Homo-oligomer: A and B are copies of this chain.
């Protein structure tokens, strides 16, 4: 197994990226192809004991920065680590591509240089949201701002397969994000998608979900358009960060409160761990004909390692072939009973 890794992308690149690659190569026994500027990568590798590990360097002279316009940057920088990484998997020289760089750039490079699975109308970005029971997988969280009900239906199928094969949920429940729980609540897209999801036998659709029910673990998979999903994810992140900031500010005003925070430090560490989703390995761009993982820009070595683990697991479980079969079944088998009894949808 060979995972291509964008060594240049992310807030903590190249240090954290190379460190994560070393951990992953050691722990999971995979080859990690480090794509980027060779001298930079070599200098980082020297900091680690990487003897016996498979960490080849694949040269790429350009870097797509975090604040560049995605589509334009992908076209303007054909020798960037992102484009070179995507081309590696396209040519079957690597099994999957992982980047913690510019999300839009990874999307654009993946769509342009790897292409879609046959039958997939729109690839979607799927990501985890922490719940009291573990995590809920949400898609689309940002690949498609405008979608139609048939796209949402494909998101539901892809999300169910991912939750089952990678997260390990036996019979994942699917709900659609709405502004009310009852059937009939929602905007026109939700109302139309609801009807289509009800008629999709290969998924376990249970209706609408409000954002307030997501943290309770009511659904294993939540589908939505990429505009709403992106706002949901960013709003949750922002609120958590705002609250942490306000708590820190207020505690710093009082020596007693600072002593209190010291006494509670182990509890506060566990809070951070529970709110943290980095062991889920970031977001996955589902629907491309290769596995592409878009780790969070602020990924540390731990998050990069887990992104590589998710890539490995996605390849081993052959989720792309399963998605292709799931989509093909949707169009070829109109009788619900026949589809439901087929193996892994």
Contact = CB atoms under 8 A, between A and B. Distances in A.
Interface of A: 69, 142, 145-146, 177, 179, 182, 186-188, 190, 210-212, 214-215, 225-228, 230-232, 234-243, 246-247, 250-251, 253-254, 256-257, 259-264, 266-268, 270-271, 274-275
Contact of A210 (B211, B234, B243, B267): B234
Contacts of A142: 179
Majority SS of interface residues in chain A? helix
A92 to B, nearest CB: 34
A251 B267 contact: yes
A142 B186 CA distance: 10
Given A228-B231, A250-B268, A257-B264, 12 more contacts: A145-B186, A179-B226, A211-B231, A211-B235, A212-B234, A231-B232, A251-B264, A251-B267, A254-B264, A254-B267, A261-B264, A263-B263
Contacts of A267: 247, 250-251, 253-254, 257, 260
Given A146-B187, A257-B263, A264-B251, A212 B238 contact: yes
A270 B267 CA distance: 20
B275 A243 contact: yes
A235 B236 contact: yes
Contact of A246 (B226, B246, B275): B275
Nearest to A251: B267
Contact of A263 (B187, B230, B256): B256
A263 B257 CA distance: 5
Nearest to A214: B238
